[in-house]
Amino acid sequence: MHEAGIARSIVAALRREELAGRQVVLHVRGGHHGPTQFESALRFHLGVEAPDLDTPSFRVIHDPVPRLCVGCGEEFAAPRPDDPCPACGGPSLPLQEHEQVEIELVG
C-alpha cells in the first residue's frame, strides 16, 4: 500500500526536523480510498515506522477535493471519493487523484 511510503516520509520529516513529540495535524487531500480506510492504514504504517512516536496524537483531517459529476458536469468539492454529486446525485470523477499530505504542527 502507498500509505507505507507516506508514513515513511512523515516519520523522516519529523525526525529530520527534530519534531518528534509535537502534536501533529495531517491534512489529506485526494486519493482512491475513503477517509476511514486511508486513516486506518496510515496509522498502522506510522506505528510500524516509528513505534516510539505517539501516533494516536496525530490528527487527520480530510480536506475536500475538487470532483466532476459524470452525469451533469457539475464541479463540486467532497472529502470522500464516493460522494455523489450534490446537484443530481450522480457519480463523480476526481479532478485530483493522488493523495497530498501536509504536516501541520500545533503548539
Asked if pLDDT for residue 91 goes beyond 60, the answer is yes
Domain interval for residue 68: 2-106
Q: Look up the CATH number of the domain holding residue 47.
A: 3.30.2320
Q: Which 8-state DSSP code applies to residue 10?
A: H
Other CB atoms within 10 Å distance of the CB of residue 92: 22
pLDDT in tens, 54-84: 766 788 888 888 899 999 999 999 877 788 9
pLDDT at position 47 over 80:
yes
Return phi, psi of residue 60, to 5°.
-110, 125
Number of domains in the chain: 1
Is the separation of the CB atoms in 30 and 65 below 8 Å?
yes
Distance in angstroms (rounded) separating the CA atoms of residues 25 and 48: 19
